[in-house]
Structure 1
Amino acid sequence: MARENSKSLRADAQRSAIAILEAAERVLSIDSAATLERIAEAAGVSRTTIHRRYSNRDALLASLAQNAHQLLTEAIASARPQSAPPLVALHQATANILIVKAKWPYSLGLDLSPDLREQVHEHVYRPCETVFRRAQETGHIRANVDLTWARLVYFALLKAAVVTHLDTHDSDATGQEGTFDAATADQTAALIIDTLFTGIGPT
């Protein structure tokens, strides 16, 4: 019984932590100067709860950035960039990234600590480099294409897709309307990959 109670308390704490981060993303996207108390209210938790978890706003912001980039890391890793066929991996990673970026735009725009910046390079940018290199090795990208430039174009297309989607899908009070569902993310990923590899001219 004690073990079950302990599991239940941990689950409650995890739900509370997620609720705080999601509320912080919504509230701070609208008002970057919002207080911890206002975020606690939006999350449906007490002031004591949020202050017990975060000593100040900087601690909350650091947690937001860490959480968002961890989700981005998991989204990319699940696409198996080192083992799946490169275009399959790129498509799946793109769809996954769109979902994360559309849900956590404020968090992903926060300044990164040196340690987190290094993690992002290792777990976000390096897998992208791997996929593009593998795509070139398998002939999906011409041998004379500069892969650094190709990745920059890809990142620009990703950003444009997220910004366009958020601009045309205003979030409701829950902050969920502006996010990508799986089907829309998949369609948008296909458009990004098609634009990147075939351009906009006639085939």
Structure 2
Amino acid sequence: MTVQKQQAKRPLRADTERTVRTILEAAERVLAANPAATMEQLARATGVARTTVHRRFATREALLDELTGWAARQFAGAVDAARPDAAPLVALYQVTANVLRVKTDWSFAMNRTAEDGHPEAARLHAEVRATCARLFRRAQEAGVLRPDIDLDWTRRVYYGLIHEAAKEGVEGGDADALATRVVDTLLRGAGAPGGLAGA
């Protein structure tokens, strides 16, 4: 293991962590608006000395790699903070709201995570999927979801609803209101009561 990799494993000092977060937040803002932004553009946007940015991240790829990992950690932390083992309906709403906040705040990095093969991000996303699968099983057992529903299909529909809601979040939508819409659409659907009777 190289010295650089050994250093990367050590916890960052509080002031260093603040600087790294400042750099990553600025990079997210710039890249969300212009995914082709150069390292120089990213460094200028941070508000910290350009030498500091280059000392922390030697290349654009190194910065993107850390941004991807950071967003994945925020994503996994948001799911854990929602207490996914709480009462299923409460947990479903809180997980949805928390995830929407992360997907809105880190939209560039979250979209990149799905395609760049980042090992830590892949592991964290797999853990979140497993947590979601447990939550949906508990929701079914508690009667929140129908007993005959296909849970895998239902989760994929849920992910699609979150993806669409996150687009509205990026455009200024409120995460709590969007979470309510996602959960309501998932549980009630779009059909009118008794709508099939008139078919």
TM-score (norm 1): 0.82
Map 1:62-141 → 2, pairs under 5 A: 62-82=65-85, 84-110=86-112, 111-122=116-127, 124-141=128-145
Matching residue of 2:177: 187
Structure 2 residue ranges without an equivalent (≥5): 1-11, 194-199
Q: 1:6 maps to what in 2? A: none
Tell me, in whole angstroms, the C-alpha distance in 1 between the residues paired with 2:16 and 2:189: 48
The alpha carbon displacement at 1:106 in A equals 0.4
C-alpha displacement at 1:140, in angstroms? 1.3
- What SS class does the counterpart of residue 109 from structure 1 fall into? helix
- Between the two proteins, the alignment pairs up a number of residues equal to 179
Distance in 2, Cα, partners of 1:56 & 1:126: 34
User: Do residues 34 (structure 1) and 41 (structure 2) align?
Assistant: no
Query: Residues of 1 paired with 2:35 and 2:182: CA distance?
Result: 31
Work out whether residues 75 and 102 of structure 2, in 8 Å CA contact, stay in contact via their aligned partners in 1.
yes
Shift of 1:202: 2.4
CA distance in 2, matches of 1:190, 1:137: 22
Q: Which residue of 1 aligns with 2:151?
A: 147
What amino acid sits opposite 2:157 in the alignment? V
Which ranges of structure 1 fall in alignment gaps of 5 or more residues?
Answer: 1-8, 170-177
Q: CA offsets, 1:41-62, max 9 Å, x none?
A: 1111112101110111111111
1:149-194 Cα shifts (integer Å, max 9, x gaps): 000110111111111343xx3xxxxxxxx4x5xxx21221111111
1:16 shift after superposition: 1.5
**Contact 2:69-2:120 at 8 Å conserved across structures:** no
CA distance, structure 2, for counterparts of residue 130 and residue 193 of structure 1 = 17
Q: How far apart, in 2, do the equivalents of 1:32 and 1:198 lie?
A: 37
Deviation string 1:109-167 (CA, Å, 9 cap, x unpaired) is 11232343122101x1111101100001111111111100000110111111111343x
Q: What TM-score do the two structures reach when normalised by structure 2?
A: 0.84
Structure 1 outlier segments of 4+, above 6 Å: none
Whether the aligned pair in 2 keeps the contact of 1:75 and 1:97 (CA below 8 Å) is yes
Deviates more, 1:106-115 or 1:125-134: 106-115
Q: Which residue of 1 aligns with 2:24?
A: 21
